[in-house]
Amino acid sequence: MSDVSPRCGPRWLTIIGIGEDGLAGLGEEARSLIATAPAVFGGARHLALAASLISGEKFSWQSPFERSIDAVLQRRGTPVVVLASGDPFLYGVGATLSRHVATEEMRTIPAPSAFSLAASRLGWPLQDVVTISLHGRPINLIRSHLHPGRRIIALTSDEDGPGDLAALLAAVGFGQSRLTVLEALGGDRERQRSTMAADFDLTDVDPLNVCALEIAAGEGARILPCAAGIEDALFEHDGQITKREIRAVTLSALAPRHGELLWDIGAGSGSIGIEWMLADPSLKAIAIEQSPERAARIARNASTFGVPHLAVVEGTAPDVLTSLPEPDVIFLGGGGSEPGVVDAAIAALKPGGRLVANAVTLEMEAVLLTEYANRGGSLTRIEISRAEAIGSMSGWRPAMPVTQWRWTKG
């Protein structure tokens, strides 16, 4: 394949993955490109690994990182080499650069990722393993993956990462999980040590490490199901929560699709937005809640359910809606009977966007009946009864019925 694109010019940017074995792990093409490049960018560790081969200027990554990206882009059209860890397009700098540089302008020579190296050392088929990066990201992201028998390989930020993971596992009932720390993979300092999470006492952990987890659940372990309708008791709430059965039906009505953004207006405990995000890692949600106490509670729930990136906006609809990113889907569970809220929600929706509104009160039900009459869509009444003790016997106790309106914007 030619290195010249008729549309974007020469492939001036080369991204090279380098491992802990340094130059020994690079092929002839990668070595030649590094040796002849007028400018080589990378982390201090990467530049040190390739130092004997670099003849051009060396540029270590700056803080904030955007300054270095600008420095790379200023050299557009002249040969530039960027050194990265392992596979540059797996939680690496390649993903960042590709947002600024067309594919036709770059070439990539990857090395094995830390995930691939760890799987090969353990003999784990990588397609059967959950891989997750916790490097510079909240450790709580791992919570939704904690299921008995699951194998997880997690990339950490530093030497404290393995101990932090072990503490989290023990705190939520997975202390009997085996945790293997794989350090400085591919280099002379490579080491592998294992322990039970509850017994973690490893010291002198190398900052370059990944953790391999074999999940075992103890009694009372906090296991988040894969299906919608998580038990209410797992949420922190003050009674303002869409109950489990109604929530399952509502998530089905919301029908999450890859990459969509949900507005949860009148979010209460945040249960709808949280379960929406648990459905797929690509999904995003904004929880809008006027009560400061409930807004703080939503943030805590999001963290303990492993979706700490749920956005929480404290304020009253419709006033706070105008400044938010355009939603694909809206759930209206509280406050919908207030003047202007439904109209503002409908105006904000993208063409083809979906709205689901639940009513428990007569006032909100009246709003939905009017909208259904004027706009169409579908209207459903949901009634749930639960068996409860009546004296020495049992009987059905009905929950408050819910009227649900579903509508798609033309």
Cβ–Cβ contacts within 10 Å for residue 32, how many? 12
Write out the two tokens for 395: 């009987």
Please give the pLDDT value at position 297: 97
pTM: 0.89
Contacts of 36 (CB under 8 A, 6+ apart): 55, 56, 79
pLDDT along the chain (410 residues), means of 10: 43 96 94 96 96 96 94 94 95 93 94 96 97 95 97 97 98 98 95 98 96 97 95 93 95 97 96 97 96 97 97 94 96 84 95 96 94 96 94 93 96
Which residues fall within 8 angstroms of residue 183, CB to CB, at 6 or more apart? 189, 190, 191, 192, 193, 205, 206, 208, 209
pLDDT of residue 147: 97
Rounded-to-integer distance, Cα 288 and Cα 261, Å: 13
Domains of the chain: 4-111 (3.40.1010.10), 115-214 (3.30.950.10), 232-408 (3.40.50.150)
Beta-strand ranges (E) seen in 98-249 are 106-109, 130-133, 151-155, 178-183, 191-196, 209-214
Q: According to the model, what pLDDT value does residue 336 have?
A: 78
Decide if 175 contacts 148 (C-beta within 8 A).
no
pLDDT at 334: 74
- Cα-based distances in Å from 364 to 27, 85, 152, 381, 403: 67, 55, 45, 13, 9
Judge contact between 141 and 132, C-beta under 8 A. yes
- Could you tell me if 130 and 151 are in contact, meaning their C-beta atoms sit under 8 angstroms apart? yes
User: Which tokens go with 77?
Assistant: 């059209």
Instruction: Classify each residue of 113-126 as buried b or exposed e, where b means 16 or more C-beta atoms within 10 Å of its C-beta.
Output: bbbbbbbebbebee
State yes or no: cis peptide before 256, omega within 30 of 0: no
pLDDT for the residue numbered 242 = 93
Identify the pLDDT of residue 339: 86
Position 381 scores a pLDDT of: 96
In this predicted model, what pLDDT tens digit does every residue of 343-391 receive, in sequence order? Answer: 999 999 999 999 999 999 999 999 999 999 999 999 999 999 999 999 9
SS3 22: helix
pLDDT of residue 338: 84
- Residue 2: what pLDDT? 37
Residues 302 and 280 sit within 8 Å (Cβ to Cβ) = no
Q: What is the pLDDT of residue 8?
A: 38
Residue 65 phi/psi, 5° resolution? -60, -30
